[in-house]
Amino acid sequence: MMDYISNTAAEKDKMLQEIGLKEVKDLFQMIPEAVSADERLNIESGISELELMRRAQLQAGKNKSLDQQISFLGAGAYDHYLPGIIDALISRSEFYTAYTPYQAELSQGTLEAAYEYQSMICDLTGMGIANASMLDGGSAAAEAVTMAARITGNSRVLLPDTVNPAYREVIKTYGAGAELEFVDLESKQQIINPAQIEKNINDQTAVVVLQYPNFYGSLEKMEEISKMIKNKKNTLLLVIANPILLGVLKAPADFGADIVVGEAQNLGNGLNYGGPNLGFMACKDDRRMLRQLPGRIVGKTTDVDGKEGFVLTLQTREQHIRREKATSNICTNEALNALMATIYLATMGKEGLKEVGEQCYHKAHYLAKKINGLSGFEVLNQDNFFNEFVLKSEKESTEVFEELLQEEIIVGYDLKNIGENGILVCVTEKRTKAEMDKLVEKLEVL
C-alpha cells in the first residue's frame, strides 16, 4: 500500500499538539455516529506500483485495441496520426498538474497557450471569437443551441437527422432543461433537402443546426440553406464542423455560420475510448453573442510595467460571478486537451493540415470506388462526401460487420446500433493501401 502521505507519526503528534487534540480521530468528533462509516471502507487493500502495473496490463490484455486490427471506425471519434512531441510536451508537469489559471501571474504558460488555441480555432472556423474549450463535441453543440435560444429569444430548433445521433441526444437533454422545441428533419442517410428547411423555418426559429460534413460523411448544401436562414431576422446558423478537415474545407464563417462548434479530439488527441475529448466553440465577433458565450475566455492585456500578458477575461458571464444568471454552469473544461490540439496545429501548420485532409479524401474515395465495383455492395452517398461514407450491402449490415471482425477488420460503425441499415466507413490518413485492399478483398468473398 502506498498513500502519498509523508508526515511521520512524530510529526503528526506535534501537529495534534499544536491543534490541542490528542488523537487524529478527535478531529472528526462533530460527525454524528449515525452517518459515520464506522467500519473500514470495504475496498480491497492497496497495492504497490509493480502490482498495479501488472493488473493494468492484465486488463489491457483482455482488450483488443486498434493496434491489433484494422479499423475503419469513425462516427465522431477519429484515428489520426499523433506527432510524438505532443505527449512529450504535455507531460511537463507545470502544464498538467496546474489548476485553472486564476492567479494569472503564475500561470502565463497555460494562458498564453489558450490564447494561441483560441486564435487557431478562429483561423480554422473563420469566426471572430473562440472560447478556451468545452467538455466535448456533443455538449458544445448542446450549449450552442441553448446560447442561440438566449440570443434570439426564440425556442424552436431545426435538427436534421444528418447530425450525429449522439449529439442530437445530448442537444435534446440540454434542450429539456431550457424547454426548447425540436423539429426533426429526415434525410434517409443522405443530405438534408433544403426544401425541408424552407418549409419548417419560421419567425420563432432560434437556430438551424447543420453538421459539416454531416454524420454520413456528405456535404450539405451549405450555401443554399444559409441564404434561407439569412432571410430570417432572428434565426441563427449553427455549424458543427470537423476541425481536421478545415485545412481543406471552406471555413464555416464563409457559409454565414453564426456559431461553430465541434469535436477537436482528432487534433492531436488520442481515442481514449471517447474521452477526454475536446469541444470547441466559436462565434461571430459581436457583443450580443459574446455576452451569451459560455466557458472561459483568455484575453491579452498588459501588466503594471506595460509588459504584455494574458488573463481570464469577461468572467461576468461565468457561474462563479453570475451564479444562476450565468451563461452556463461550465467550470472545469478540457484545457490540457486544448493544449494538445494547439501543439498539433502548430506542428502540422497550414500545409500539414491540408495534406492530412487531402490524404483522407483521396484514400476514402479510392476505397469507395473499389467498393462500388463489387457486386452486392455499394456506397450510398450520392452527393459529395469527404472521408466517411455509408456502405450498403445486400446482406444485413451486422452480418457483414461480424464476418469482417473475424478477419481482424472493423469495417466501420454498424448503423444497426441506431436502427438503420448500412455501415458508416471512415478512412483517415493513417489507413494504408494494403489495409484498404485487404478490406475489398474480404468483402469480395463474403
Partner 1 sequence: MEEKLIKDYSSSGRKGYSLPPLEVEKSDLEAELTGYLRDDLELPEVSEVDVVRHYTALSEMNYGVDSGIYPLGSCTMKYNPKRNERVARIAGLTNIHPYQPEKQLQGSLEILYQLKLDLAEISAMDEITLQPASGAHGEFVSLMIVKKYFEEREENRTKVIVPDSAHGTNPASAAMAGFDVVEIASNERGMVDLEALAEALDENTAALMLTNPNTLGIFEEDILKITEMVHQAGGLVYYDGANMNAIMGYAKPGLMDFDLMHFNLHKTFSTPHGGGGPGSGPVGVKDFLAPYLPRPLLKKDEEKYYWDYQRPKSIGKVHSFYGNYGVMLRAWAYIKTLGGRGLKKTTENAVLNANYLKARLKKDFELPYAEDSLHEFVLSGSRQKEEGVSTLQIAKRLLDYDQYAPTIYFPLVVKEAMMIEPTETENIGTLDHFIETMLTISREIKEDPELVNKAPHSTTVRKLDETKAARNPDLHW
What is the footprint of partner 1 within residues 225-244 (CB under 8 A)?
none
Window contacting partner 1 (CB under 8 A); options: 175-183, 201-209, 225-233, 388-396: 175-183
Among 202, 231, 329, 372, binds partner 1 (CB under 8 A): 329
| Region of 195-203, 226-234, 372-380, 428-436 interacting with partner 1 (CB under 8 A) | 428-436
Task: Work out whether 29 is an interface residue with partner 1 (CB under 8 A).
Answer: yes
* By CB under 8 A, residue 432 contacts partner 1: yes
Site membership for partner 1, residue 373 (CB under 8 A): no
30 sits near partner 1 (criterion: CB under 8 A)? yes
Q: Which of 144, 201, 206, 222 binds partner 1 (CB under 8 A)?
A: 222
Of residues 365, 378, 416, 421, which one binds partner 1 by CB under 8 A? 365
Cα–Cα–Cα angle for 70, 72, 77, rounded to 5 degrees: 120
Find residue 282's DSSP bridge partners. 130, 260
User: Is residue 9 a contact residue for partner 1 (CB under 8 A)?
Assistant: no
Which one of the spans 119-127, 189-197, 227-235, 388-396 is the region binding partner 1 (CB under 8 A)?
119-127
Q: Which of 9, 91, 382, 406 binds partner 1 (CB under 8 A)?
A: 91
CA torsion 407→408→413→419, rounded to 10°?
50
By CB under 8 A, residue 441 contacts partner 1? no
Among 9, 153, 233, 305, binds partner 1 (CB under 8 A): 305
Q: Which are the contacts of 369, defined by CB distance < 8 A and separation ≥ 6?
A: none
Task: State the Cα–Cα distance between residues 132 and 311, nearest whole angstrom.
Answer: 12
Candidate residues 22, 188, 300, 395; the one interacting with partner 1 per rule CB under 8 A: 300
- Binding of residue 374 to partner 1 (CB under 8 A): no
The answer to whether the beta carbons of residues 371 and 294 sit under 8 Å apart is: no
> Nearer Cβ to partner 1, position 236 or 411?
411
- Shorter beta-carbon distance to partner 1: residue 59 or 233: 59
Calpha distance 257→210 (Å, rounded): 10
- Binding to partner 1 (CB under 8 A) within 39-58 occurs at 40-49, 52-53, 55-58
Burial of 193 (0-12, 13-18, 19+ CB in 10 A): middle
Contacts of 199 (CB under 8 A, 6+ apart): none
Please state, in angstroms and as integers, the Cα–Cα distance from residue 189 to each residue in 78, 149, 230, 415, 422, following that order.
20, 27, 26, 10, 9
Distances (CA, A) of 223 to 33, 145, 357: 67, 21, 21
Among 153, 233, 324, 445, interactor with partner 1 by CB under 8 A: 324
Kindly give, in sequence order, each residue whose CB lies less than 8 Å from that of residue 162, ignoring residues fewer than 6 positions away.
Answer: 187, 190, 191, 192, 210, 211, 214, 215, 216, 218, 220
Residue 173 binds partner 1 (CB under 8 A)? yes
